[in-house]
Amino acid sequence: MISNKILDAIFPQPMLDELKEQTIAELESEGFTITNFRSGGVFHTLLMVSLEIYTELTGLFRRVLSNMFVKHAEDVWIELKAQDYGKTRKPASKTKGVLTLAGDVGHATLTIPAGTTFRTDRYIHGEELRYFSTADVTLLDTLEEIQVTVEAEKTGTLYNVPQGRITNCTRHLEGVKSITNTSDWITLAGADIEDLELLRERTLNSWADLATGTTAAKYKSAAEKVTGVLYADVDQLHPRGQGSVDIIITSTAGEASEELLSQVEEAVQEIKGEYDNLLIKSAETVHQDVSVTVELPELISGEGVSEKARYAVENYFKVSTSRKLNELVLLDLYIAIKQEIPVLKNIKIVEPAMDIKMPKGNVILLGELSVTVTWEERDV
């Protein structure tokens, strides 16, 4: 919103009582025929209605003026103004990935048809995430395991779950002993509809698109318009020799899949400098194992505590613009768990033992997660 100081200079908006007194004074000085301005009178009522309309219109003009500028626009106005700069809000997309199914010893041949539903366990808030297979797959009796391509039921980053979360099928698969998603199961990360502040930032950077040469800002602008790209960092200081440019992509799941990198490459090829040697690559992802011990007061039930702690840790590691992706701060992790489980007596993070900070371009993701629930010892 434009500052009130500027708005007051363009569209001053006095208080209603002040405006009434000012208007009455002007009418009296002009020798207005009606002299009864007392409250309750017919003219007083009409006057107050008129002044109320005036103040409301002034407030509307102030709001419209503020929303005419990208820097100050709010809500849907940002989308409207972004279109003036050739920018549109990136839509939400569905997660695509591969599940690994392992067969029992001596299993028979099994065909898993397209449309088979796989799901996570229910989260603590009763949420169950579902994924549908996209092609027929056959587990031959000579194979120990197969991979099944799946797509999320709905759009959003919520479906970019960490490893080991998708473990169920809604129908019995004879001969299949386990279902899981590995650490690199995602082939195309799901995305939420673009945050309006990110859209504002991209729009304000539109001047980079007008550069006659291909600058780092211009490459960044082209890469970040691709759905699924959270950040694009451009190294134009000849990282691989004279004329080389590296574009490092962080997706909404952290690591950028080959499919996403191909989409980014297609987008930047349109503006590629004649002599630039481009390398489009994913941000480096590191899977950090976490072991947590939570201690409860002795008389508190432990029902659901482990699930809540797991949820808190997984939510902390969620890839988003609100988190420094190359850092793991134990204090923040403590706070996240405590907020989810206020009754906790104590929390001990066994692994990692200290804060972690990695170079820019790295993304710390959750690896194996272990949660132990204990109770405080009773004083003798």
- Give the per-residue SS3 of 3-40: CHHHHHHHCCCCCHHHHHHHHHHHHHHCCCCCCCCCCC
If asked whether residues 269 and 327 sit together in one domain, one would say no
Task: Answer yes or no: is 193 within a domain.
Answer: no
If asked whether residues 272 and 293 sit together in one domain, one would say no
> In residues, how long is the chain?
380
If asked whether residues 103 and 181 sit together in one domain, one would say yes
- Distance separating alpha carbons of residues 31 and 192, to the nearest angstrom: 64
If asked whether residues 278 and 289 sit together in one domain, one would say no
Residues 6+ away with beta carbon under 8 Å from 264: 223, 226, 229, 232, 247, 249, 256, 280
Structural contact between residues 112 and 136, judged by C-beta atoms closer than 8 angstroms: yes
If asked whether residues 289 and 258 sit together in one domain, one would say no
If asked whether residues 56 and 129 sit together in one domain, one would say no
End-to-end CA separation in angstroms for the chain: 62
If asked whether residues 274 and 290 sit together in one domain, one would say no
Structural domain total, the chain: 4
Task: Answer yes or no: is 14 within a domain.
Answer: yes
Task: Answer yes or no: is 218 within a domain.
Answer: yes
Which of 155, 188, 221 lies at the terminal end of a domain, its last residue? 188
The values of phi and psi at residue 24, to 5°, are: -60, -40
If asked whether residues 48 and 118 sit together in one domain, one would say no
- Distance separating alpha carbons of residues 317 and 360, to the nearest angstrom: 17
- Distance separating alpha carbons of residues 362 and 58, to the nearest angstrom: 50
Task: Answer yes or no: is 80 within a domain.
Answer: no
CA separation (Å) from 206 to 45, 155, 171, 194, 300?
Answer: 51, 28, 50, 17, 56
- Distance separating alpha carbons of residues 266 and 18, to the nearest angstrom: 61
- Distance separating alpha carbons of residues 214 and 141, to the nearest angstrom: 55
- Distance separating alpha carbons of residues 221 and 264, to the nearest angstrom: 11
Which of 253, 282, 311 lies at the terminal end of a domain, its last residue? 282
If asked whether residues 296 and 262 sit together in one domain, one would say no
If asked whether residues 272 and 324 sit together in one domain, one would say no
Pick the closest to residue 85 from 190, 205, 237 (CA basis): 205
Task: Answer yes or no: is 41 within a domain.
Answer: yes
CATH code for the domain of 275: 3.30.300
Burial class (CB in 10 A: 0-12, 13-18, 19+), 132: middle
pLDDT given for residue 126 in this prediction: 63
Task: Answer yes or no: is 380 within a domain.
Answer: no
pLDDT given for residue 135 in this prediction: 93
pLDDT given for residue 179 in this prediction: 92
If asked whether residues 290 and 360 sit together in one domain, one would say yes
The values of phi and psi at residue 307, to 5°, are: -65, -40
Q: What is the mean pLDDT of each run of 10 residues along the chain (380 residues)?
A: 79 82 82 80 85 88 86 87 87 93 87 92 76 92 90 92 89 90 89 88 77 76 87 82 85 87 88 82 89 87 85 88 88 91 89 89 88 77
Task: Answer yes or no: is 194 within a domain.
Answer: no
CATH code for the domain of 166: 2.40.30
Residue 239, preceding peptide bond in cis (omega within 30° of 0): no
**Amino acid type, 232:** A
pLDDT given for residue 237 in this prediction: 79
If asked whether residues 326 and 277 sit together in one domain, one would say no
Which of 226, 260, 282 lies at the terminal end of a domain, its last residue? 282
Assigned token pair, 22: 């000012």
Task: Answer yes or no: is 82 within a domain.
Answer: no
Question: How many degrees, rounded to 5, is the angle at CA 279 between CA 277 and CA 285?
Answer: 160
pLDDT given for residue 209 in this prediction: 67
Assigned token pair, 331: 């204090």
Domain that holds residue 302: 285-375
Provide the whole-model pTM.
0.71
Structural contact between residues 309 and 374, judged by C-beta atoms closer than 8 angstroms: no
